[in-house]
């Protein structure tokens, strides 16, 4: 099956700093990648959809200047949380979609902002 | 906009028994897909089963099967011969037809399998 990796798996950063999370499709080309956020004991909420070589589409209520998404190649998308604050602490999950409709999920990144 | 509703926040089942998780959805789309995902404590999302809306036959994957009622917009998951490893959060999800469409998730059902 298709494999998606995320790095780092967990990160702790200080308030006011920025942190970058990478999402890679290891054995297929991902034309579209999705970024989700999941708070404890809650469902996944889509933050944005990114297509290779174009600007990401953000869901309503998601600050695009705070959550910078870059999808520079068919195997890599990055999410940068800028000027992170404690309320940004969450579990971030990416998924990747290839030629067909199915999405393959990464293992997630736990972000803690102190 | 699509909505997905899971009305059972928590369920419990004894090992080897059968349990059914409920899911309803609302959409005006005619072409769509439905999914059940499992999220164990590791938090890795695992696809359990998928159903194409145009298919009348209910999908099955080993011990997992669905009851897809298109007119009622219902998509329940049946887990037979429950195992301790089935303990997880289960999310029902909707995707509009076409490539690379986004998933809309329900709120999830926490399933506990007991001895």
Q: What is d(CA A11, CA B113) in angstroms, rounded to the nearest whole number?
A: 32
Question: What chain A residue is nearest to B108 in terms of C-alpha separation?
Answer: A43
- Sort out which chain B residues have CB atoms less than 8 A from A49's CB and list them: 100, 102
Phi/psi-derived region of residue A83, left when phi > 0, alpha when psi is between -120 and 50, beta in every other case:
left
* B1 band by pLDDT with thresholds 50, 70 and 90: confident
The string of pLDDT tens digits covering residues B20-59 is 999 999 999 999 999 999 999 999 999 999 999 999 999 9
Q: Write the residue in A51, A101, A108 that is nearest to B101 by C-beta.
A: A101
For A87, the 3-state DSSP assignment is: helix
**What's the pLDDT tens digit per position in A97-114?**
877 778 899 999 999 999
Q: Between β-strands B74-79 and B19-21, what pairing exists: parallel, antiparallel or unpaired?
A: antiparallel
Per-residue confidence (pLDDT) for residue A72, from 0 to 100:
84
pLDDT at A102: 83
| CB-facing half-sphere around the CA of A10: CA atoms within 13 A | 4
Task: Answer yes or no: are the C-beta atoms of B84 and B113 closer than 8 Å.
Answer: yes
Q: Between A and B, how many residue pairs show a Cβ–Cβ distance under 8 A?
A: 52
Chain A residue nearest residue B45, CA to CA: A105
A69 at interface of B, judged by CB pairs closer than 8 A: no
Chain A residue numbers with beta carbons less than 8 Å from the beta carbon of B41 are none
Q: Tell me whether residues A43 and B45 touch, CB distance under 8 A.
A: no
Residues of B in contact with A95 (CB under 8 A): 45, 103
Among all chains, which residue has been given the structure tokens 């917009």? B73
Rounded to a whole number of angstroms, the distance from the CA of B98 to the nearest CA of chain A is: 7
| Cα B93 from Cα B66, distance rounded (Å) | 13
CA B113 and chain centroid, separation: 17
In A39-58, the residues whose Cβ lies within 8 Å of chain B are 42-46, 49, 51
- Give B 35-94 residues with CB within 8 A of chain A: 42-45, 47, 50, 91
- Lowest model confidence (mean pLDDT) among B13-27, B69-83, B93-107: B93-107
- Position B39 scores a pLDDT of 97
**Ramachandran region of residue A16, left (φ > 0), alpha (ψ -120 to 50) or beta?**
left
| pLDDT value of position A93 | 98
Least CB–CB distance from A32: residue in B42, B100, B105: B100
């Amino acid at each position: 099956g298709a494999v998606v990796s995320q790095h780092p798996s967990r990160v702790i950063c200080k308030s006011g700093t920025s942190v970058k999370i990478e999402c890679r499709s290891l054995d297929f080309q991902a034309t579209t990648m999705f970024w989700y956020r999941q708070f404890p004991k809650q469902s996944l909420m889509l933050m944005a959809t990114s297509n290779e070589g174009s600007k990401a589409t953000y869901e309503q209520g998601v600050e695009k200047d705070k959550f910078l998404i870059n999808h520079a190649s068919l195997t890599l998308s990055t999410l940068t949380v800028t000027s992170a604050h404690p309320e940004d602490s969450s579990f971030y999950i990416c998924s990747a979609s290839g030629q067909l409709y199915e999405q393959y999920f990464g293992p997630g990144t736990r972000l803690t902002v102190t | 906009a699509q909505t997905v509703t899971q009305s059972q926040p928590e369920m419990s089942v004894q090992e080897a028994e059968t349990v059914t998780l409920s899911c309803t959805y609302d959409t005006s789309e005619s072409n769509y897909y439905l999914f059940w995902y499992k999220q164990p404590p590791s938090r890795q999302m695992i696809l359990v089963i998928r159903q194409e809306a145009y298919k009348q036959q209910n999908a099955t994957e080993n011990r997992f099967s669905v009851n897809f009622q298109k007119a009622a917009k219902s998509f329940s998951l049946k887990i037979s011969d429950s195992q301790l490893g089935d303990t997880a959060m289960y999310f029902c999800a909707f995707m509009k037809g076409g490539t690379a469409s986004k998933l809309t998730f329900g709120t999830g059902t926490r399933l506990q399998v007991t001895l």
